[in-house]
Structure 1
Amino acid sequence: MQDKVTIKIPRKLYETLQEMIEGTGFSSTTEFIVFVLRTLASTGKIKEDDKLTEQEVQVIKERLKRLGYL
């Protein structure tokens, strides 16, 4: 058995993902999240052009603030 850890994500995101995977063949939201993260991790390092601009970071921070996460 593999060692596992718990990762916390916002409940609303979890619920959105649950809705997204309905009828897709994924047996659980966790299975889908692991699939997405494995796919991302298999690409290797984050490339310079994959980084967010300062403006994108600010937009994300504002959205998170309005949603009550910051």
Structure 2
Amino acid sequence: MTEYTTVSIPKELADRVEETIEGTSFTSTSDLVRFLLRSIVIQRQRSGELTEAEFEEITDQLRALGYLE
């Protein structure tokens, strides 16, 4: 059985994420966060480490989604 943990984000950000995922295949904020984190981990495992460009690309994507300011 998979164990879970909780990640806290500001309510304002959660609201923005909910708006962002409307009309997508993501059914919740948790779905999106799992997808993003899984993508980052898989990318890192494939390359052994993130390049500066990859890190910047991920940062830009997270910023666009409202996770970073």
- Give the TM-score of the pair, scaled to structure 1: 0.61
Distance in 2, Cα, partners of 1:4 & 1:46: 26
Letter in 1 for 2:21: I
Matched residues, percent identical?
A: 31
Distance in 2, Cα, partners of 1:21 & 1:7: 18
Distance in 2, Cα, partners of 1:13 & 1:42: 25
* Alignment gaps of 5+ in structure 2: 57-68
Q: What is the match of residue 2 of structure 2?
A: 2
Distance in 2, Cα, partners of 1:23 & 1:10: 22
Letter in 1 for 2:50: I
Structure of higher CA gyration radius = 1
- The alpha-carbon deviation at position 36 of structure 1 amounts to 1.0
- Give the TM-score of the pair, scaled to structure 2: 0.62
- Return the structure number with greater relative CO, CA threshold 8 A, min gap 6: 2
* Alignment gaps of 5+ in structure 1: 52-63, 65-70
- The alpha-carbon deviation at position 18 of structure 1 amounts to 0.4
Moved over 4 A (4+): none
